[in-house]
Amino acid sequence: MDTSFLTHDLPFLLTVGAALGSGVVAGVLFAFSSFVMRALSTLPADTGIAAMRAINTAALKPAFLSVFGGTAVLAPSPLVLSLVGDGDSVGSLAVGCVLYVAGTVGITRIAHLPRNWALDNVPDGPEATRLWARYLKEWTRWNHVRTATSAAASIVFTVSAVSALVA
C-alpha cells in the first residue's frame, strides 16, 4: 500500500486547512475589534449587554464553533505529521500551532470566557453598567491580541504550505 499520501499530501492539506481556518477566525475577530464592539459601546448599557449576550450565544452554534474549535484541533496535525515524517517545516508549523492554540484559543479561555460569564450573571442596574464599561475595554483589548495571533497563525501556515509546494 502506497503511504506517500500520508507523508506528503496530507500534511500539506492539513496545513492549508489550518491556514484557512485561522484566517477565517481572524476575520471574525477583526470584525469585533474594528466595528462590532464600537457599535455596541454606543448603545445604552442594558441594550449593549443584551446584544452581547445574544452574540455570545450565537457564537456557540456550529457555524462558528466548528471553525474556531476545528482549527484548534487541526493546527497541531501537520506539525505532528511533520515530526513523524521528514521533519520539514517543523519550526514554522510549531509557531503556527502555538499562535493559534495558545494565542487564540488560550486567550479566549483566560480572557474572554470569564468576562462573558460575568456579563451573563450580572444583575441589572448600576453594577451591570459598571461591568459593561469595563467589559468593553478589557474584552476588546484582548480581542485585538486574539485577532493578531489568528492572523499571524494564518500567515505562518500559508508560508509553510507555499514552502512545501516549492520544495
Q: What is the DSSP string of 2-69?
A: --HIIIIIHHHHHHHHHHHHHHHHHHHHHHIIIIIHHHHHTS-HHHHHHHHHHHHHHHTSHHHHHHHH
For residues 70-82, b (16+ Cβ closer than 10 Å) or e, as one string? Answer: ebbebbbbbbebb
pLDDT digits (tens, 9 = 90+) for 58-79: 999 999 999 999 999 999 998 8
Residue 16's identity, in one-letter code, is V
- Residue-number span of the structural domain to which 44 is assigned: 4-166
pLDDT confidence of residue 43:
98
pLDDT digits (tens, 9 = 90+) for 92-104: 999 999 999 999 9
Q: Which band of pLDDT confidence, cut at 50, 70 and 90, is reported for residue 9?
A: confident
Domains contained in the chain, number = 1
pLDDT digits (tens, 9 = 90+) for 110-127: 999 999 999 999 999 999
pTM (2 d.p.): 0.91
